Amino acid sequence: MHDERREEDLTAYALDELDGEARTAVEAILAGSVDARREVDEVREAAARLREAFASVPHQALTPEQRAAVEEEAARGVRRSRRSRSVAAALVAGVAASLVALVVVVAPFERYAKPSVPAGFHVPVPLPSIASLPSARAVAPMSREQFEQLKALGYVGGTLGDVDEYSRMKSDELRDSSAPFNTETYDHIRDNAFVLVAQDPRSTFSVDVDTASYSIVRRFLRDGQLPPKDAVRVEELINYFPYDYEPPTGAVPFAVHMETAACPWSPDHRLVRIGLKGREVPRGERPPSNLVFLIDVSGSMDAPNKLPLVKAALRLLVEQLQAEDHVAIAVYAGAEGLALPSTPATDKAAILGAIESLSPGGSTHGSAGIRLAYETAAASYIKGGVNRVILATDGDFNVGITSPGELVRLIETEAKSGIFLTALGFGMGNLKDATLEKLADHGNGNYAYIDRLSEARKVFVEQIGGTLVTIAKDIKLQVEFNPARVKAFRLVGYENRVLAHQDFNDDTRDAGDIGAGHTVTALYEIVPPGVNVAVPGVDPLKYQPTAARRPGTASGEMLTLKLRYKQPDSDHSARLDVPVEDSGRSFEEASPDFRFAAAVAAFGMALRDSPYKGDVNLRTIQEWARNSLGQDEEGHRAELVTLIARAQQLSPNR
């Protein structure tokens, strides 16, 4: 019986691979054979040694981006039918001539984020950088339908849509959305320049908690493109990340944390960090919430990264609700309607059922839907609670608005009733970034761009307090610099948030809000006296007193931060003054939060190719980021490190 076959059975038995008759047969042999029993023991011993040897390999994980891409796919829920390649191929062929520079054709399997793709792994179609395109105008015409169809099939990257989307960004007026596809240009963001303190010792701006620009930059880099410069808003990059600032302890709803150190990208300069931290509202202590979802179910939302992602995001939020919360769902498309009347959060089945039943169809009539949502919110208003309309849309309002200002005025009026707004942007290619930002600005609101489910998780799970509970509104900052300590200054980012000095004390002037636990970070680059700075086109003043003769300048203070804010239910602002002296620290001595914020700013400036980016390359910036990850429990900072690496691959010279 000592044949190979029997030995194999003994091995299989030892490894617990046998059952039924085979097992019984081996057991019979074992009962009568010492050798066989020894053999089994030895196989088990060898197996144990093998397991031991194979163990203790380091843990490996997908990158956060890769994981998010998978989760996004999972969130789409429905198995997409594998449409015939030939249909797609015909479409590709049909438009290929007009898309040479822009469309990247990839196999369906390879359309996802690959932060570090080895050569030869993907179809090696060179990715043109946006910067190398002649201009957005040069894009040949292709119908939106054609493009969306290709995109849904995974045959094109985000390029065309992105050009379309960013071309609409930051426009001062709500644009006529019936304008032809891809005919608009970017609105230029010009980096804040150095200002001589002798010319103007003050700097005034509004806080900004929007984070959309970071999601947008990430999307570009994931798609293998450098983002267009004007899509990069440095302050939104910086404020995407939570910072470990101590929360306030007193009556003021937020704490102010100032820090100074050497400026890493310009070693002769100093960097001042202003950090605000909103009061935290612990889980379970959030006031009862009256939430009205206003969901755009128009035809343009019929894309995998729109309505299905909206639904997945809402389900995440529903999981976070507390027993006393109420939820209603209003929809709008051709006609507005109530999909779910105000329902207690305890009736989760009804809420989830209503979310599930949302389906796209019709054109958009945004203003009627917004009115309905505010009426619904007012009808179930909770005094002392959170009353908020959560708008989920691609912003493509195209029916029912007679003038661009009408929608904004409507929102402004409704906001006075104490109902706050959250605007959530979805989708590429059709998103009206400027519309949504404007709505949020005028509706006491916040604005996030949800490009994937993990972003929804950040907004609705990790930072739900900040998203729902506003702890202070209309927060304005004014910094006055001491000419004895500061020759010139430059606000890093916040280009679109700069206010006139006189607006600081004007309580009728709207400004940004802070949610519970939110952090807001702003950086000033400072040129100390005695260091040369080029401020073009400015002559010295003839009649102004020199610094040394002015009162107060002899103090060691570098600057004084003045801050105005309102309680969420008040129309009158309170004021706070915080003087700061320079710590004299080197960059390396600064806190991890400081160093990380500086790294993000430097990355943003590098992407913008800012004239103030200094003499550093992406590799150095990546080192700064890598060395200042801090706790980073959610992995957001680590993600930035991979994004910087991605940018390096795309532009080796920066």
Partner 1 sequence: MASSTSTRLEWIGTAIDQYQSRLIRFAARITGDVESARDVVQDTFLRLCREDVERVRDHLPAWLFRVCRNRALDVRKKEGPLQTLDDAGTPAREGLEADPHARLERGDDARRVLAAVAMLPAPQQEVLRLRFQEELSYKEISGVTGHSVGSVGFLIHDGIKKLRQRLGHDEPASRPEGERTDA
Binding residues for partner 1, rule: CB under 8 A, are: 2, 4, 7-8, 11-12, 15, 17, 35, 42-43, 45-47, 49-63, 66-67, 69-71, 73-80, 109-110, 112-114, 116-121, 308, 311-312, 315-316, 319, 352, 356, 453
**Nearest distance from C-beta of residue 317 to partner 1, angstroms:** 11
What's the CA gap between 464 and 515, in Å, rounded? 9
> What count of Cα atoms within 13 Å lies in the side-chain half-sphere of residue 305?
26
What's the CA gap between 535 and 553, in Å, rounded? 23
- 323: which residues sit within 8 A by CB, 6+ positions away? 344, 345, 346
Give the residue among 198, 256, 252 at the shortest CA–CA distance from 488. Answer: 198
What's the CA gap between 580 and 631, in Å, rounded? 27
- Residue 110 backbone phi and psi in degrees, to 5: -115, 25
CB nearer to partner 1: give 305 or 610: 305
Based on its alpha-carbon atoms, the radius of gyration of the chain, rounded to whole angstroms, reads: 29
Cα 227 to Cα 7, 141, 265, 639: the distances in Å are: 63, 22, 22, 17
CB nearer to partner 1: give 77 or 652: 77
- 547: which residues sit within 8 A by CB, 6+ positions away? 197, 198, 483, 484, 553
CB nearer to partner 1: give 62 or 90: 62
Per DSSP, the three-state class of 41 is helix
What's the CA gap between 516 and 148, in Å, rounded? 38
CB nearer to partner 1: give 78 or 100: 78
What's the CA gap between 494 and 388, in Å, rounded? 26
**Nearest distance from C-beta of residue 222 to partner 1, angstroms:** 12
Residue 498 DSSP symbol? B
CB nearer to partner 1: give 196 or 317: 317
Give the residue among 443, 448, 454 at the shortest CA–CA distance from 393. Answer: 448
What's the CA gap between 513 and 518, in Å, rounded? 10
DSSP letters, 216-237, are HHHHHHHTT-PPPGGG--HHHH
Q: Strand 270-278 and strand 519-527: pairing?
A: antiparallel
**Nearest distance from C-beta of residue 642 to partner 1, angstroms:** 11
**Nearest distance from C-beta of residue 114 to partner 1, angstroms:** 5
**Nearest distance from C-beta of residue 118 to partner 1, angstroms:** 4
Tell me the torsion sign for CA atoms 127, 129, 133, 135: positive
**Nearest distance from C-beta of residue 507 to partner 1, angstroms:** 44
What's the CA gap between 270 and 589, in Å, rounded? 13
**Nearest distance from C-beta of residue 40 to partner 1, angstroms:** 12
CB nearer to partner 1: give 104 or 312: 312
Cβ burial, residue 114 (10 Å; 0-12/13-18/19+): middle
- Residue 580 backbone phi and psi in degrees, to 5: -135, 135
CB nearer to partner 1: give 71 or 581: 71
Q: For 332-389, what is the HEC assignment?
A: ECCCCEEEEEEEECCCHHHHHHHHHCCCCCCCCCHHHHHHHHHHHHHHCCCCCCEEEE
- Residue 21 backbone phi and psi in degrees, to 5: -60, -45
Cα 585 to Cα 64, 262, 267: the distances in Å are: 34, 6, 12
**Nearest distance from C-beta of residue 353 to partner 1, angstroms:** 10
**Nearest distance from C-beta of residue 600 to partner 1, angstroms:** 25
Residue 569 DSSP symbol? T
CB nearer to partner 1: give 46 or 531: 46
What's the CA gap between 135 and 151, in Å, rounded? 22
CB nearer to partner 1: give 308 or 443: 308
- Residue 539 backbone phi and psi in degrees, to 5: -90, 155
What the block records as the tokens of 400 is: 């029912």
**Nearest distance from C-beta of residue 43 to partner 1, angstroms:** 6
CB nearer to partner 1: give 105 or 352: 352
**Nearest distance from C-beta of residue 156 to partner 1, angstroms:** 18
- The distance in angstroms from the start CA to the end CA of the chain is 73
CB nearer to partner 1: give 212 or 303: 303
**Nearest distance from C-beta of residue 645 to partner 1, angstroms:** 11
**Nearest distance from C-beta of residue 298 to partner 1, angstroms:** 21
CB nearer to partner 1: give 118 or 282: 118
Token look-up 């950090």 returns 275
**Nearest distance from C-beta of residue 37 to partner 1, angstroms:** 13
CB nearer to partner 1: give 47 or 350: 47
**Nearest distance from C-beta of residue 126 to partner 1, angstroms:** 17
CB nearer to partner 1: give 108 or 287: 108
**Nearest distance from C-beta of residue 567 to partner 1, angstroms:** 37
Q: For 296-343, what is the HEC assignment?
A: ECCHHHCCCCCHHHHHHHHHHHHHHCCCCCEEEEEEECCCCEEEEEEE
